[in-house]
Amino acid sequence: MKIAFIGDIVGRPGRDMVKAHLAKLRESEGLDFVIANYENASHGFGLTSKNCNELFSYGVDVMTGGNHSWDKKDIVPLFESHEILRPHNYPEGVAGTGCKVYEVEGEKLAVVNLMGHYGMPYCDNAFRCAEVTVGELEAAGVKNIFIDFHAEATSEKRGMLMLLEERVSAIIGTHTHVSTDDFQIVNATAYLTDIGLSGCRDNVIGMDKKVPLQQFLTGMKGHFDIPKKCKKILQIAILEIEKGKTTAAYKLKIFDDGRIFRSDAWMED
Protein backbone atom coordinates (compact mmCIF):
# COMPACT_ATOMS: atom_id res chain seq x y z
CA MET A 1 0.00 0.00 0.00
CA LYS A 2 1.04 3.58 -0.56
CA ILE A 3 -0.04 6.08 2.07
CA ALA A 4 0.61 9.78 2.65
CA PHE A 5 0.71 12.09 5.65
CA ILE A 6 0.23 15.86 5.79
CA GLY A 7 1.23 17.43 9.08
CA ASP A 8 -0.13 20.53 10.84
CA ILE A 9 -2.46 22.13 8.32
CA VAL A 10 -2.42 25.76 9.54
CA GLY A 11 -5.49 27.86 8.77
CA ARG A 12 -6.90 28.78 5.38
CA PRO A 13 -3.49 28.94 3.69
CA GLY A 14 -2.89 25.31 4.62
CA ARG A 15 -6.37 24.25 3.58
CA ASP A 16 -5.95 26.08 0.27
CA MET A 17 -2.74 24.15 -0.45
CA VAL A 18 -4.47 20.84 0.30
CA LYS A 19 -7.30 21.87 -2.03
CA ALA A 20 -4.90 22.86 -4.80
CA HIS A 21 -2.71 19.74 -4.72
CA LEU A 22 -4.07 16.69 -2.92
CA ALA A 23 -6.40 15.33 -5.61
CA LYS A 24 -3.62 15.59 -8.19
CA LEU A 25 -1.14 13.96 -5.81
CA ARG A 26 -3.48 11.04 -5.13
CA GLU A 27 -3.43 10.34 -8.86
CA SER A 28 0.18 11.15 -9.75
CA GLU A 29 1.69 9.36 -6.73
CA GLY A 30 -0.80 6.48 -6.70
CA LEU A 31 -1.89 7.13 -3.11
CA ASP A 32 -4.20 4.60 -1.50
CA PHE A 33 -4.79 6.43 1.79
CA VAL A 34 -4.19 9.95 3.12
CA ILE A 35 -3.76 11.01 6.75
CA ALA A 36 -3.63 14.67 7.80
CA ASN A 37 -3.21 16.52 11.09
CA TYR A 38 -6.10 18.95 11.72
CA GLU A 39 -5.27 20.59 15.05
CA ASN A 40 -4.41 24.00 13.55
CA ALA A 41 -6.75 23.85 10.55
CA SER A 42 -9.32 26.44 11.70
CA HIS A 43 -7.58 29.81 11.95
CA GLY A 44 -4.64 28.12 13.66
CA PHE A 45 -6.50 26.61 16.60
CA GLY A 46 -8.61 23.44 16.45
CA LEU A 47 -11.13 22.31 13.85
CA THR A 48 -14.63 23.50 12.99
CA SER A 49 -17.28 21.29 11.44
CA LYS A 50 -17.16 23.39 8.24
CA ASN A 51 -13.41 23.04 7.83
CA CYS A 52 -13.59 19.35 8.72
CA ASN A 53 -15.98 18.66 5.85
CA GLU A 54 -13.88 20.87 3.59
CA LEU A 55 -10.69 18.88 4.18
CA PHE A 56 -12.40 15.51 3.72
CA SER A 57 -13.84 16.76 0.43
CA TYR A 58 -10.30 17.36 -0.85
CA GLY A 59 -9.34 13.69 -0.47
CA VAL A 60 -8.22 13.20 3.15
CA ASP A 61 -9.23 9.81 4.61
CA VAL A 62 -8.55 10.32 8.33
CA MET A 63 -7.33 13.22 10.47
CA THR A 64 -5.18 13.26 13.60
CA GLY A 65 -5.00 15.91 16.31
CA GLY A 66 -2.91 17.20 19.21
CA ASN A 67 -2.96 19.70 22.05
CA HIS A 68 -5.30 22.04 20.11
CA SER A 69 -7.84 19.31 19.35
CA TRP A 70 -10.28 20.78 21.87
CA ASP A 71 -10.05 24.45 20.86
CA LYS A 72 -13.31 24.44 18.88
CA LYS A 73 -16.57 23.25 20.48
CA ASP A 74 -17.50 21.44 17.24
CA ILE A 75 -14.93 18.71 17.82
CA VAL A 76 -16.74 16.36 20.22
CA PRO A 77 -19.61 15.34 17.87
CA LEU A 78 -17.10 15.08 15.00
CA PHE A 79 -15.42 12.17 16.77
CA GLU A 80 -18.62 10.19 16.24
CA SER A 81 -19.56 11.37 12.75
CA HIS A 82 -16.18 11.60 10.99
CA GLU A 83 -12.84 9.80 10.83
CA ILE A 84 -11.26 12.10 13.39
CA LEU A 85 -8.70 11.08 16.03
CA ARG A 86 -7.28 12.82 19.09
CA PRO A 87 -4.18 11.79 21.08
CA HIS A 88 -4.75 8.26 22.37
CA ASN A 89 -3.03 8.92 25.69
CA TYR A 90 -5.69 11.32 26.95
CA PRO A 91 -7.15 9.76 30.11
CA GLU A 92 -9.97 7.22 29.95
CA GLY A 93 -13.39 8.88 29.65
CA VAL A 94 -12.31 11.66 27.29
CA ALA A 95 -14.38 11.81 24.08
CA GLY A 96 -13.03 10.16 20.96
CA THR A 97 -10.16 7.77 20.39
CA GLY A 98 -6.60 7.93 19.13
CA CYS A 99 -6.48 4.59 17.36
CA LYS A 100 -8.54 3.25 14.47
CA VAL A 101 -8.04 0.44 11.97
CA TYR A 102 -8.90 0.81 8.28
CA GLU A 103 -9.08 -1.49 5.26
CA VAL A 104 -6.60 -0.35 2.61
CA GLU A 105 -5.92 -2.39 -0.51
CA GLY A 106 -7.18 -5.54 1.20
CA GLU A 107 -4.99 -5.06 4.28
CA LYS A 108 -5.53 -3.55 7.72
CA LEU A 109 -3.90 -0.22 8.51
CA ALA A 110 -3.90 1.17 12.05
CA VAL A 111 -3.58 4.93 12.52
CA VAL A 112 -2.44 5.94 16.01
CA ASN A 113 -2.27 9.50 17.37
CA LEU A 114 -0.09 10.13 20.46
CA MET A 115 0.94 13.30 22.30
CA GLY A 116 4.22 13.99 24.08
CA HIS A 117 4.76 15.43 27.55
CA TYR A 118 7.22 18.34 27.50
CA GLY A 119 5.24 21.59 27.23
CA MET A 120 1.98 19.74 26.64
CA PRO A 121 -1.30 19.32 28.58
CA TYR A 122 -1.40 16.64 31.26
CA CYS A 123 -1.97 13.19 29.76
CA ASP A 124 -1.24 9.54 30.44
CA ASN A 125 2.25 8.26 29.66
CA ALA A 126 2.66 8.27 25.86
CA PHE A 127 5.30 5.55 25.85
CA ARG A 128 3.34 3.11 27.98
CA CYS A 129 0.22 3.89 25.94
CA ALA A 130 2.19 3.18 22.76
CA GLU A 131 3.48 -0.16 24.08
CA VAL A 132 0.01 -1.30 25.11
CA THR A 133 -1.70 -0.10 21.93
CA VAL A 134 0.86 -1.61 19.57
CA GLY A 135 0.74 -4.86 21.53
CA GLU A 136 -3.05 -5.01 21.14
CA LEU A 137 -2.79 -4.31 17.42
CA GLU A 138 -0.17 -7.02 17.00
CA ALA A 139 -2.37 -9.48 18.88
CA ALA A 140 -5.22 -8.62 16.51
CA GLY A 141 -3.02 -9.35 13.50
CA VAL A 142 -2.59 -5.75 12.38
CA LYS A 143 0.86 -5.35 10.81
CA ASN A 144 0.59 -1.93 9.17
CA ILE A 145 0.78 0.69 11.92
CA PHE A 146 1.23 4.45 11.38
CA ILE A 147 1.88 6.79 14.32
CA ASP A 148 1.51 10.58 14.38
CA PHE A 149 3.49 11.57 17.48
CA HIS A 150 2.51 15.14 18.36
CA ALA A 151 5.31 16.36 20.60
CA GLU A 152 7.52 19.37 21.34
CA ALA A 153 10.69 17.57 22.42
CA THR A 154 12.78 15.95 19.71
CA SER A 155 14.18 13.55 22.31
CA GLU A 156 10.70 12.18 23.02
CA LYS A 157 10.11 11.57 19.33
CA ARG A 158 13.47 9.87 18.90
CA GLY A 159 12.80 7.80 22.00
CA MET A 160 9.52 6.58 20.50
CA LEU A 161 11.47 5.29 17.51
CA MET A 162 13.88 3.43 19.81
CA LEU A 163 10.91 1.89 21.60
CA LEU A 164 8.93 0.79 18.55
CA GLU A 165 11.36 0.24 15.65
CA GLU A 166 10.60 -2.98 13.74
CA ARG A 167 7.15 -3.13 15.35
CA VAL A 168 5.44 -0.26 13.51
CA SER A 169 5.50 0.92 9.90
CA ALA A 170 6.09 4.62 10.56
CA ILE A 171 6.47 7.26 13.26
CA ILE A 172 6.19 10.83 11.98
CA GLY A 173 6.30 13.81 14.31
CA THR A 174 4.09 16.89 14.30
CA HIS A 175 3.57 20.03 16.46
CA THR A 176 6.68 22.21 16.01
CA HIS A 177 5.65 23.28 12.47
CA VAL A 178 9.35 23.24 11.49
CA SER A 179 10.45 20.40 9.23
CA THR A 180 13.50 18.35 10.17
CA ASP A 181 16.06 16.79 7.86
CA ASP A 182 16.21 13.26 9.29
CA PHE A 183 13.76 11.21 7.22
CA GLN A 184 14.99 7.63 7.48
CA ILE A 185 13.93 3.99 7.52
CA VAL A 186 15.24 2.06 10.52
CA ASN A 187 14.57 -1.67 10.64
CA ALA A 188 11.60 -1.20 8.28
CA THR A 189 10.16 1.67 10.37
CA ALA A 190 9.99 5.07 8.65
CA TYR A 191 10.89 7.95 10.97
CA LEU A 192 10.81 11.75 10.70
CA THR A 193 11.15 13.95 13.78
CA ASP A 194 8.82 16.61 12.38
CA ILE A 195 7.15 16.85 8.99
CA GLY A 196 6.59 20.61 9.27
CA LEU A 197 3.52 22.73 8.65
CA SER A 198 1.38 23.14 5.57
CA GLY A 199 0.35 26.78 5.32
CA CYS A 200 2.20 30.11 5.44
CA ARG A 201 5.98 29.78 5.14
CA ASP A 202 7.17 33.41 5.37
CA ASN A 203 6.39 34.18 9.02
CA VAL A 204 6.61 32.51 12.47
CA ILE A 205 5.37 28.88 12.41
CA GLY A 206 2.49 29.83 10.11
CA MET A 207 1.36 32.84 12.16
CA ASP A 208 1.67 36.57 11.49
CA LYS A 209 5.02 37.79 12.88
CA LYS A 210 3.66 40.78 14.84
CA VAL A 211 2.54 39.05 18.05
CA PRO A 212 5.41 36.53 18.26
CA LEU A 213 7.97 39.36 17.85
CA GLN A 214 6.12 41.44 20.45
CA GLN A 215 6.36 38.51 22.85
CA PHE A 216 10.05 37.90 22.13
CA LEU A 217 10.93 41.58 22.55
CA THR A 218 8.75 42.52 25.54
CA GLY A 219 7.39 39.36 27.15
CA MET A 220 3.85 40.61 26.48
CA LYS A 221 1.60 37.92 25.02
CA GLY A 222 -1.17 38.36 22.47
CA HIS A 223 -3.44 36.41 20.15
CA PHE A 224 -1.65 34.69 17.30
CA ASP A 225 -3.25 35.31 13.92
CA ILE A 226 -3.02 33.82 10.42
CA PRO A 227 -1.77 36.32 7.80
CA LYS A 228 -4.34 37.30 5.19
CA LYS A 229 -1.66 37.09 2.50
CA CYS A 230 1.45 34.94 2.59
CA LYS A 231 3.73 32.59 0.69
CA LYS A 232 2.48 29.02 1.12
CA ILE A 233 3.82 25.48 1.28
CA LEU A 234 2.41 21.94 1.39
CA GLN A 235 4.57 19.29 3.07
CA ILE A 236 3.60 15.67 2.52
CA ALA A 237 5.34 12.40 3.39
CA ILE A 238 4.68 9.37 1.19
CA LEU A 239 5.31 5.80 2.37
CA GLU A 240 5.37 2.49 0.54
CA ILE A 241 4.45 -0.28 2.97
CA GLU A 242 4.49 -4.06 2.44
CA LYS A 243 3.24 -6.40 5.18
CA GLY A 244 3.89 -3.83 7.87
CA LYS A 245 7.37 -2.86 6.66
CA THR A 246 8.15 0.46 5.01
CA THR A 247 10.21 -0.31 1.91
CA ALA A 248 10.57 3.26 0.61
CA ALA A 249 9.59 6.76 1.69
CA TYR A 250 9.98 10.29 0.46
CA LYS A 251 8.78 13.79 1.26
CA LEU A 252 7.51 16.48 -1.10
CA LYS A 253 7.67 20.20 -0.37
CA ILE A 254 5.30 21.95 -2.77
CA PHE A 255 5.48 25.74 -2.97
CA ASP A 256 2.69 28.00 -4.18
CA ASP A 257 5.04 29.42 -6.83
CA GLY A 258 5.25 26.02 -8.51
CA ARG A 259 8.52 24.73 -7.08
CA ILE A 260 8.60 21.13 -5.81
CA PHE A 261 11.42 19.63 -3.77
CA ARG A 262 11.69 15.89 -3.12
CA SER A 263 13.79 14.29 -0.38
CA ASP A 264 14.08 10.51 -0.07
CA ALA A 265 14.34 8.76 3.27
CA TRP A 266 17.65 7.05 3.73
CA MET A 267 17.78 3.38 4.62
CA GLU A 268 19.80 2.47 7.68
CA ASP A 269 21.95 -0.68 7.34
> Where residue 62 falls among pLDDT bands split at 50, 70, 90?
very high
Q: What is the pLDDT of residue 228?
A: 86
Q: What is the pLDDT of residue 11?
A: 97
Integer-rounded Cα Rg, in Å, for the chain is 17
User: How far, in Å, CA of 194 to CA of 178, rounded?
Assistant: 7
The mean per-residue pLDDT over the stretch 36-53 comes to 97
Q: What is the pLDDT of residue 246?
A: 98
Q: What is the pLDDT of residue 235?
A: 98
Give me the helix-helix angle, 126-139 and 154-164, nearest 10°.
30
pTM score? 0.97
Q: What is the pLDDT of residue 249?
A: 98
> Where residue 243 falls among pLDDT bands split at 50, 70, 90?
very high
Q: What is the pLDDT of residue 225?
A: 93
Cβ–Cβ under 8 Å, residues 172 and 190: yes
DSSP string across the chain: -EEEEE--B-HHHHHHHHHHHHHHHHHHTT-SEEEEE-TTTTTTSS--HHHHHHHHHTT--EEE--TTTTSSTTHHHHHHHSSB---TTSPTTSSS-SEEEEEETTEEEEEEEEE-STTS---S-HHHHHHHHHHHHHHTT--EEEEEEE-S-HHHHHHHHHHHTTTSSEEEEESS----S--EEETTEEEES----BEE-SSBTTB-SHHHHHHHHH---------SS--EEEEEEEEEEETTEEEEEEEEEEETTS-EEEEEPEEP-
pLDDT above 70 coverage of the chain, percent: 100
Question: Is the pLDDT at 268 greater than 90, yes or no?
Answer: no
Q: What is the pLDDT of residue 113?
A: 98
Could you please state the CATH topology (level 3) that the domain comprising 2-199+228-267 is classified under.
Answer: Purple Acid Phosphatase; chain A, domain 2 (3.60.21)
Q: What is the pLDDT of residue 44?
A: 95
Q: What is the pLDDT of residue 169?
A: 98
Cβ–Cβ under 8 Å, residues 88 and 128: no
Q: What are the boundaries of each domain within the chain?
A: 2-199+228-267
> Where residue 41 falls among pLDDT bands split at 50, 70, 90?
very high
Residue 68 known to be catalytic: yes
Average pLDDT, the chain: 97
Q: What is the pLDDT of residue 232?
A: 98
pLDDT tens digits, 142-192 = 999 999 999 999 999 999 999 999 999 999 999 999 999 999 999 999 999
Question: Is the pLDDT at 269 greater than 80, yes or no?
Answer: no
pLDDT tens digits, 222-242 = 989 999 899 999 999 999 999
Q: What is the pLDDT of residue 76?
A: 96
Check 21, 68, 88, 175 and give the catalytic one: 68
